[in-house]
Structure 1
Amino acid sequence: MYQIKSPVLFTLFNRPDTAYRVFQKIRAGKPPKLYVAADGPRRDRDGEAALCEEARKVIQVDWECEVHTLYRPENLGCKVAMSGAVKWFFEQEEEGIILEDDCLPDESFFTFCDTLLEKYRHDTRIAHIGGANLCLNKKFGDASYYFSRYTIIWGWASWRRVWQNYDENLLLLDGFIQEDLFKYIYKKKTVTDQLIKTLNVVKSNALVTWDFQYVFMNFWNNSLCIVPNKNLISNIGFDTRATHTADTRSKFANLPTEPLGEITHPKYFVPIIDADYYLLKLEEPPLTTKLKRIIVPVVKRLISSSH
């Protein structure tokens, strides 16, 4: 079993079953440093405190390891809890690997992250090392990975130098839109219109999340994101308990992983925009899936109040 070299941040909440499966992958790799962050239970959810406690009990470190914990006594929600956990991690580490409790990695994910964290440690063109390939077995280029503009956060690695620019409130978004800068990210207006719409919803807090802020940060910084040409992460969290992945019929649910093999590197440092377009076309429109649970109840209340 490959022994992980980099520090690992593992975030969890109220799903001890998925947390256990992911932790067993981390445990097998025996990282030298493990950071565990857990959000607290919601007051209005019966039985959730017990589930959160059970999830935390999954962490049984039986190897030589420096362990740090950030266990929240109360619920902060996805946006603050997750972004706060990553900030806490990078305040103490220059670089590392981040796994959520529903992102089940292939063993070669850790090799991939360790290798590329070292290779691109001081290369400010590279901001993000992703572990998930959501292009459904379509390969781009001859190397083990390609460069993208789009940031996928189902199992990833990065550096403090990148995360220090993170802004959970999207303060630069309005200016970016007013100066029409999205056209330099993607030429297709249908793509940029959807991104702008989604980011505005996130900024308004109608969609409470942390990841689109990270996506935008890498846009305005003109950064490159790494995507493996084989899928190294299976998201096992598509169920009714999930915050943003409740649709069990999603084409991205429980995707199989595949060992990466020997790592080969691209010759050229250019984003493969066709790969991004292919992925964005595969994705269900973000507003359709993520906002349905928000918009539909509001509309129903408005209709009922008008009668």
Structure 2
Amino acid sequence: MSHGETHQGLSAPVLLIHFNRPDLTRRQIEILARFSPPRVWVLTDGPRAGHPTDADRVAAVRSQFESLPWECELTTIHREHNLGVRANISDGITRFLDACEAGIILEDDCLPTGSFLRFADEMLVRYREDERIYAVSGYTGKDNGLGIHESYTFSDYFSCWGWATWRRAWVNYDPDMHGFLNPLHWGQIHRRVFPGLRQRAYWGFILGRVSRGTTDSWAYRYQLSIWLQRGLAIFPNRNLVSNVGFGEDATNTAGLSGTESQELAFPLKHPEQVEASPQLNKWIEDNWHSKSPGMRFRWLLRKLRLVEGAQDTGL
């Protein structure tokens, strides 16, 4: 088995989603230059009204894509005006997949390993025609692997921090959230995905905010679309993407920061069954979403420390 970082012959196109953080753009380009993806799409939203530094920062991001340090076919979507997170990203993914059929998607704070690019490339080919699979996730949030013998497993959840998908899956993206707003559909999702009242209350609250526009999210909508279609996401046995967006203000992601990326052994060992792992489902729910009591306590402590730090600095 090989743990080598380089991956020759990457074939999948890559969509890079950036905005106004030029330092993160530089870091991601430096990493991707080692693997030279042959087809690159770049999506950037326009400057926000009322944010005077946005114009220069967005321009600084876009300028870095004018001369990438490797030969590739480059397609750019640069918005003149700010569309917002959901409208910009969902439309960008649609245009990317309409043109490419399948590909890898990286936001600016997601730094992939070579293993992730190779893993996603292989999964996009292997499961191209399998309509049960809706996403290939690279971020697991676990330092010590998933505790399985195979190279990857499946979940009812997906992670958008370094992922890949197909047009045949994305066409089921439902911006109108029928899976939540239709009581019959929502009841079916309840019974199949959520084991307890804590999870049901949490997701009812979160998706209610999304449906009212209080939370501007395409990812929650896609997660709901996966549940509605009884789809699955692939997760590798190692964390293959570092998310460097967890800063001091990352109050909603307590317990996720600090996860180092790792390399995955090849050739891959494939699971015999295509079915969601109850253990992984529970870990994701307990650590990322509704949070177990212990994780919720640590999350509250982190919020309190951040508030106290802001008061000490006069913010």
Q: Please, what TM-score do these two structures have when normalized by structure 1?
A: 0.87
Q: Deviations over 1:191-247 (max 9, x none)?
A: 13312221111111111111000101110110111011110111111236xxxx733
CA distance in 2, matches of 1:285, 1:15: 30
1:77-118 CA-to-partner distances (Å, cap 9, x unmatched) read 111111111111011011000000000111110000011101
Instruction: After TM superposition, give the deviation of residue 61 of structure 1 in Å.
Output: 2.1
When residues 212 and 107 of structure 1 are mapped into structure 2, their CA distance, relative to the original with a 3 A threshold, is same
For the structure 1 residues 70 and 7, does the alpha-carbon distance in structure 2 shift closer, same or farther, using more than 3 Å as the test? same
1:121 and 2:128 aligned: yes
CA distance in 2 between counterparts of 1:216 and 1:171 reads 9
1:19 to 15, 20, 25: 25
Q: Distance in 1 between matches of 2:235 and 2:260?
A: 16
State the identity as a percent: 31
Residue type at the aligned position of 1:98: I
Residues 253, 288 of structure 2: 8 Å contact kept? no
Q: CA–CA distance in 1 between the matches of 2:252 and 2:159?
A: 19
Q: Does 1:58 align with 2:64?
A: yes
User: What's the RMSD between the two structures over aligned residues?
Assistant: 2.1
- 1:179 to partner: Cα distance: 5.7
Counterpart selection for 1:41 from 47, 50, 58: 47
Decide which of 246, 255, 259 is 1:255's aligned counterpart. 259
Q: How far apart are the structure 1 equivalents of 2:114 and 2:164?
A: 15
Which amino acid counterpart does residue 184 of structure 1 have in structure 2?
A: R
Judge conservation of contact 2:94–2:170 (CA < 8 Å) in 1: yes
Q: For the structure 1 residues 142 and 223, does the alpha-carbon distance in structure 2 shift closer, same or farther, using more than 3 Å as the test?
A: same
Secondary structure of the 2:215 match is: coil
Matched residue, 2:74: 67
User: Alignment length, in residue pairs?
Assistant: 285
Compute the displacement of 1:278 (Å). Answer: 1.5
Distance across 1 between alignment mates of 2:39 and 2:82? 26
Partner SS, residue 28 of structure 1: coil
Who is 2:273 aligned against?
268
2:111 partner SS:
strand
Residues 239 and 248 in structure 1, CA contact (< 8 A), matched pair in contact too: no
Report the AA paired with residue 256 of structure 1.
E
Contact 2:152/2:234 (<8 A) preserved:
yes
- Which 5+ residue runs of structure 1 have no aligned equivalent? 294-307
Task: Work out whether residues 210 and 220 of structure 2, in 8 Å CA contact, stay in contact via their aligned partners in 1.
Answer: yes
- Determine the C-alpha separation between the residues in 1 that align with 2:38 and 2:44: 20
Residues of 2 paired with 1:109 and 1:233: CA distance?
A: 7
Counterpart CA distance in 2 for 1:196 and 1:258 is 34
The residue aligned with 2:224 is 216
Structure 1 residues 177 and 184, CA, compared in 2 at 3 Å: closer, same or farther?
Answer: same
**Native 8 Å contact 1:135 1:278 kept in 2:** no
Asked if structure 2 preserves the Cα contact closer than 8 Å seen for 1:7 and 1:93, the reply is yes
Give the Å deviation of 1:176.
4.6
Counterpart-to-counterpart distance in 2, 1:254 and 1:19? 20
1:235–1:252 contact (8 Å) kept in structure 2: no
How far apart, in 2, do the equivalents of 1:178 and 1:252 lie?
31
Instruction: Quote the Cα distance in structure 2 between the aligned partners of 1:26 and 1:177.
Output: 45
Opposite residue 257 of structure 1, the aligned amino acid is S
For residues 194 and 136 of structure 1, what CA distance do their matches in structure 2 show? Answer: 26
- Out of 139, 159, 174, the residue aligned to residue 152 of structure 1 is 159
In the alignment, the residues of structure 2 paired with residue 265 and residue 229 of structure 1 have an alpha-carbon distance, to the nearest angstrom, of 11
In the alignment, is residue 98 of structure 1 matched against residue 105 of structure 2?
yes
SS at 1:29 equivalent: coil
Q: Partners in 2 of 1:254 and 1:85 — Cα distance?
A: 29
In 2 relative to 1, CA 251–134 (structure 1 residues): closer, same or farther, beyond 3 Å?
same
C-alpha distance 266-48 of structure 1, shift in aligned 2 (>3 A)? same
How far does the alpha carbon of each residue in 1:231-272 deviate from its partner, in whole angstroms, 9 at most, with x for none? Answer: 0111111236xxxx7339832124210101112111111101
Q: Give 1:6's aligned amino acid.
A: A
